[in-house]
Amino acid sequence: MKYIIIVKPKKTILDPQGKAIKKVAERYLQKEIGDIRVGKYFEIELEKEDDELIERLASKVLSNEIIEDFEVIKR
């Protein structure tokens, strides 16, 4: 069983990394684009399905609820 967890900065948080990347991306593309937000991606292998365990891991370790949201995808 594979779980994918995506951690994203909350909308209310400024993301200076995203801003810097957007600037370079626009220079490279010679074209204006929308905002870029930088997050984190985790792949976790489990022998058996355990949504509760993954939820706990994502909320207490992989993300910080003050500044980040997360999304869990099951594969």
Partner 1 sequence: MKVGIVQFLGTNCDRDCKFACDVLGLKSEFLWYESKDLKGCDVIVLPGGFSYGDYLRAGVLAKFSPIMESIREFAKRGGYVIGICNGFQILTESGLLKGTLLKNNNLRFVHKDVYVKVEKSKAFFTNGLEESVLKLPIAHADGNYYCSKEDFEYILDNEMVVLRYCNSKGEIEKDCNPNGSLDNIAGVCNEEGNVFGLMPHPERAVGDLGNDGESIWSRLL
Applying CB under 8 A, which residues contact partner 1? 13-14, 16-17, 20, 40, 61-62, 64, 66-67
Angstrom distance (rounded) from CA 53 to CA 61: 11
Q: Tell the burial category of 24 from Cβ atoms under 10 Å away from its Cβ (0-12, 13-18, 19+).
A: exposed
Q: How far is the CB of 14 from partner 1 (least distance, A)?
A: 7
Q: How far is the CB of 20 from partner 1 (least distance, A)?
A: 6
Smaller CB separation from partner 1, 30 or 35: 35
Angstrom distance (rounded) from CA 56 to CA 60: 6
Smaller CB separation from partner 1, 49 or 67: 67
